[in-house]
C-alpha cells in the first residue's frame, strides 16, 4: 500500500534534504517509483557527460522515495550498500530518469534496483542496486 504519494514525497525530500534539488517523481506505485533529475551544469563532466556521483544520487534518492512511499516518512532510513554499473555515456543536455523497482521490503532491510536512462531514450545508461536499513520503531 502506498502511504506517501509523489507530492508528499517531494515535499518531504525538500524539507529534509535542502541541499538536494532538481528532482521530481514521475510515478509512484506498488512496484516502485520513477524519479527525474533536471540535469544542471554542476552535474556535468567534460564532454557534456553526467558525473558518476550524480547518477549515484539519482539512484539513491529513487530508492529512498520507493521505500518511503511504503513505510512513510522515516527520515533515518539509511543506505547501507550500493553497487552501480555505468554502461553508456548519457546524452548531453538531457534530463535523466531513474526507474526503481522495490524487490524486498522487510522489517529491517529493503532492497531495490534502479535503471538510469537519458529521458526519452530506451537504452540504459547505468544500473544500480541499493540496500537500506530501516530503523526499529520506538
CA distance 64 to 105: 12
CA distance 6 to 54: 21
Write the DSSP string, 6-40. HHHHHHHHHHH-TT--SEEEEEEETTEEEEEE---
Q: Which of 45, 48, 72, 92 binds its own copies (CB under 8 A)?
A: 45
Nearer to its own copies, 58 or 95 (CB): 58
Q: Which segment (6-14, 25-33, 75-83, 91-99) binds its own copies by CB under 8 A?
A: 75-83
Cβ 127 to its own copies shortest distance, Å: 6
CA distance 3 to 134: 16
CA distance 132 to 76: 10
Helix, strand or coil, per DSSP, at residue 71: helix
Does position 57 bind its own copies by CB under 8 A? yes
Q: Which of 60, 67, 69, 100 binds its own copies (CB under 8 A)?
A: 60
Does position 77 bind its own copies by CB under 8 A? no
Give me the residues that bind its own copies (CB under 8 A), please: 16-17, 19, 41-46, 51-54, 56-57, 60, 75, 78-88, 103-104, 106, 108-109, 111, 113, 115, 124, 127, 129, 131, 133
Amino acid at each position: 500500500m502506498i502511504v506517501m504519494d509523489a507530492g508528499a514525497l517531494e515535499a518531504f525530500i525538500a524539507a529534509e534534504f535542502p541541499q538536494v534539488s532538481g528532482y521530481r517523481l514521475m510515478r509512484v506505485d506498488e512496484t516502485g517509483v520513477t524519479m527525474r533529475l533536471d540535469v544542471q551544469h554542476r552535474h556535468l563532466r567534460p564532454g557534456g557527460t553526467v558525473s558518476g556521483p550524480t547518477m549515484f544520487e539519482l539512484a539513491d534518492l529513487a530508492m529512498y522515495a520507493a521505500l518511503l512511499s511504503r513505510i512513510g516518512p522515516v527520515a533515518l532510513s539509511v543506505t547501507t550498500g550500493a553497487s552501480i554499473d555505468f554502461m553508456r555515456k548519457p546524452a548531453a543536455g538531457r534530463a535523466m530518469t531513474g526507474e526503481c523497482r522495490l524487490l524486498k521490503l522487510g522489517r529491517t532491510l529493503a532492497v531495490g534496483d534502479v535503471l538510469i536512462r537519458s529521458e526519452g531514450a530506451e537504452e540504459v545508461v547505468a544500473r544500480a542496486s541499493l540496500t537500506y536499513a530501516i530503523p526499529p520503531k520506538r
